[in-house]
Structure 1
Amino acid sequence: MSEENASGSDDPSDTMRRRAEESRLKLWMLLEANRWVVAAVVLAAFVAGSVAVASILPSRVVVEVGDPVETLFQALVTATITGVTLVVSINSLVLSQELGPLGDQRERMEGAMSFRRDVEDELGMDVAPATPAAFLRELIGAAEDRARALSDAAEAMEGDDAGRVTEYAAELRRHASSIESELSGEEFGTFDVLSAALNFNYSWKIYEARGLRASLGESAPPSEQEGAGESASPDGSEVRGVSEALDDVVAVLTLFGPAREHVKTLYFQWELVDLSRAMLYSAVPALLVATNVLLFHGVLPAFSATTLGVAHYVWIVALATAVTLAPFAILLSFVLRIGTVAKRTLSIGPLILRTTSGEEHDRRDG
């Protein structure tokens, strides 16, 4: 199945990079790269572009006039102050989910504990892990174990269905093993935990397992479908064993869905807090630089010496503008990641949102 995905099959690929059908560099910038690096790249590109334009235009005339520089930094000061008020809105969004009456907090606690008990019962554990990475690893490890049991059950079957089940089990084991390795040793607070969880294509695995389960139900002997007869036929017993193994796989994958969404929600809150703090930190030097340029822009023409063929006053204006734009660059870098993840995980369960048509899948299983 992975080979088909890589070679252009309409089936969704396992990794999010292949499912997104985007270039590696673009997805690295949107998701994997450090957000500070992305913000720095944006600002560096702005400085480089500004210097490049100024090197071919009569920029000295523009600076000597003074009005464009003054107008620019007046607008930047206003935008920076507005950005600080945006931080208040971001914090309010995060706090609105944390603050509430005792009854609401108790419901949240009961919901969390109820889900953990469901996982512990399904996995046969006394206590589920407390850290997100370890919790997700247990669920993925259970999926791998049940895929192995499914493969063993399918060995007793014959025919095309047996081959499809065996292939599905082998692919699930391979995929789960690779995601377990990605989650090993990761700590919450970094994107690595969520990145590994996003790479586990559980929704398609559920869809495939349910399709195989339905196919086995249609191919079962009539006596098995109707529940007739005093003893099951050998073929019916084998089919029933594989069907039960598929049900076990679906059960653990169904638990992984809400677990991943919960981890994603916590990560978003974590990122929004980091974003608001970073914007506040960067707003102070941004305001300091912008106000000083407004106060002393009249002396800029005195810096007429050149570096790399560009006047120093051009460098000063470009760098000062970049520092003042730092809060916006930071906001851009964080929102790019949050928005990309949100778009890739809009649905939960076996509902696949793709720009290509999914009619072929529906016809195949309809």
Structure 2
Amino acid sequence: MSGVERNDEGVVNRAVDWVLFDGSRWAVAGGSLLPIVVLLGLMAGTDLLVLDDTEPLLFLFSAIVGGNFTLLTVVLSVNQLVLSRQLESPGEVRDRIGSVHDYRDEVESHTEGVAPVLPPEFFLRVLEGARRQAQELGGLVAGRSPDPLREDVDELVETVTAQIDRSRELYGQSEAGTVEVLVVALETNYAMQIRDARRIKRHHEAELSEELRERIDDLIDSLEHVDVARQYLKTLYIQDELARFSRLLLYVGIPAMFVPICVLAGFTTAPGIGSTNPFLPALVVASIVVGLLPLAVLFAFVLRVASVSQETIAITPFTMAQQESEDRSNGSEDGHPGS
């Protein structure tokens, strides 16, 4: 996955974004195990890992096997969650399709042409439609002499345009997959701009022409469509990510169970093997790492799913203080017209 730099404030912030959103889950899982590998390797190389008494290792590997049994039951729970969203009656499927078509029709009424069917292109079309509505709104007041209404509209248009341009820039950096475009969607929170548009309608009600009022309503609708698309992208992503997570957890879970069980069997049948086999420390280190693989995979996937959910927890017309703080740090200052 290509890096989508959501925050340009420094290397640390980019590294955090890579771990939380952009990075390969295999790389994140491997990175979480790296300190353990290094520490155990140093212990084995400096004779700090003494294996004359194998009884502590029996307890350790027994705990790993028992923990992995518990982790693998997570696969069943995750699959039940995914299946519960996909097993529907024909009537429920028809209702879902109808609601999606209704939403597409609303989007197409504010954009040009037929909306794309792929989520990345569809989301970009929604963004472009909102930008076009903002530009048309700005064009209606461009001929007015400077006054509070024009200043408020110009500030709103400038803010919306800047945020959408930022999202389009991030979209250009990504590989345009569902996960990548969702990372871009995390930047799109227009609750403040919708509030400002409604404030303009209220504070300048006497000065607004019918056409200007309709354009403001169209802009509000377009920004709400962006949020609907963002939440739908999140739903698609989480379903896909949970299904992939359950499959990968099974892949790593089988060797993570088999290897520690073999080590346990070896220690049980040959209790004094630790003092006679020079390769045993390396074998123990490798077995511990393999046994911890399911936990590392769980950490990597849950970290991203939880981060995405936190970033998209608020829906229009609400926002979170954390989201607004991140928007300002990325150079998108909020306008507050008509105060």
TM-score category by the smaller chain?
0.7 to 0.9
Distance, in Å, in 1 between the alignment partners of 2:8 and 2:151 is: 25
Of residues 130, 143, 153 in structure 1, which corresponds to 2:140? 153
Alignment pair present for 1:216 and 2:200: no
Q: Deviations over 1:150-180 (max 9, x none)?
A: 2212222322332232132123223213323
2:56 counterpart residue number? 68
Aligned residues between the structures: 318
Q: For 2:86, what is the secondary structure of its paired residue? A: coil
Distance, in Å, in 2 between the alignment partners of 1:180 and 1:355 is: 22
Deviation at 1:211, TM superposition (A): 2.6
Deviation at 1:147, TM superposition (A): 1.7
Q: For 2:52, what is the secondary structure of its paired residue? A: helix
Deviation at 1:70, TM superposition (A): 1.0
Q: For 2:62, what is the secondary structure of its paired residue? A: helix
Question: Do 2:138 and 2:154's aligned partners in 1 also have CA atoms closer than 8 Å?
Answer: yes
Distance verdict in 2 for CA 1:212–1:112, change over 3 Å: same
Q: Deviations over 1:58-115 (max 9, x none)?
A: 431xx21111111111111122222222101101100001102222222112111221
Alignment pair present for 1:276 and 2:246: yes
Deviation at 1:268, TM superposition (A): 0.3
Question: Do 2:155 and 2:337's aligned partners in 1 also have CA atoms closer than 8 Å?
Answer: no
2:161 counterpart residue number? 173
Unaligned runs of 5+ in 2: 326-333
Distance, in Å, in 1 between the alignment partners of 2:39 and 2:202 is: 59
Q: For 1:64, what is the secondary structure of its paired residue? A: coil
Distance, in Å, in 2 between the alignment partners of 1:98 and 1:68 is: 46
Structure number with higher relative contact order (C-alpha < 8 Å, ≥ 6 residues apart): 2
- Greater C-alpha Rg: 1
Distance, in Å, in 2 between the alignment partners of 1:356 and 1:171 is: 16
Give the letter aligned to residue 143 of structure 1: A
1:331 counterpart residue number? 298
Question: Do 2:200 and 2:337's aligned partners in 1 also have CA atoms closer than 8 Å?
Answer: no
Alignment pair present for 1:24 and 2:33: no
Give the letter aligned to residue 92 of structure 1: Q
Of residues 68, 73, 85 in structure 2, which corresponds to 1:80? 68
Alignment pair present for 1:131 and 2:118: yes
Distance verdict in 2 for CA 1:118–1:192, change over 3 Å: same
Alignment pair present for 1:36 and 2:26: yes
- Pairwise CA RMSD: 2.9
Deviation at 1:261, TM superposition (A): 0.7
Alignment pair present for 1:109 and 2:109: no
1:200 counterpart residue number? 188
Distance verdict in 2 for CA 1:354–1:315, change over 3 Å: farther
Distance, in Å, in 2 between the alignment partners of 1:39 and 1:356 is: 27
Distance verdict in 2 for CA 1:205–1:49, change over 3 Å: farther
Of residues 287, 291, 299 in structure 2, which corresponds to 1:320? 287
Deviation at 1:267, TM superposition (A): 0.6
Distance, in Å, in 2 between the alignment partners of 1:253 and 1:356 is: 16
Deviation at 1:320, TM superposition (A): 1.4
Question: Do 1:39 and 1:329's aligned partners in 2 also have CA atoms closer than 8 Å?
Answer: yes
Give the letter aligned to residue 322 of structure 1: V
TM-score, normalised by the number of residues in structure 1:
0.78
Distance, in Å, in 2 between the alignment partners of 1:121 and 1:250 is: 13
Q: Structure 1 vs Structure 2: percent identity of aligned residues? A: 28
Q: Deviations over 1:182-223 (max 9, x none)?
A: 33584444x211001111223333223223333322xx35xx
Of residues 35, 40, 47 in structure 2, which corresponds to 1:50? 40
1:9 counterpart residue number? none
Give the letter aligned to residue 120 of structure 1: E
Give the letter aligned to residue 68 of structure 1: P
Distance verdict in 2 for CA 1:111–1:167, change over 3 Å: same
Between 173-182 and 109-118, the greater mean CA deviation after superposition? 173-182
Alignment pair present for 1:97 and 2:72: no
Question: Do 1:144 and 1:176's aligned partners in 2 also have CA atoms closer than 8 Å?
Answer: yes
Distance verdict in 2 for CA 1:251–1:357, change over 3 Å: closer
Question: Do 1:131 and 1:188's aligned partners in 2 also have CA atoms closer than 8 Å?
Answer: no
Deviation at 1:181, TM superposition (A): 4.0
1:295 counterpart residue number? 265
Question: Do 2:152 and 2:337's aligned partners in 1 also have CA atoms closer than 8 Å?
Answer: no
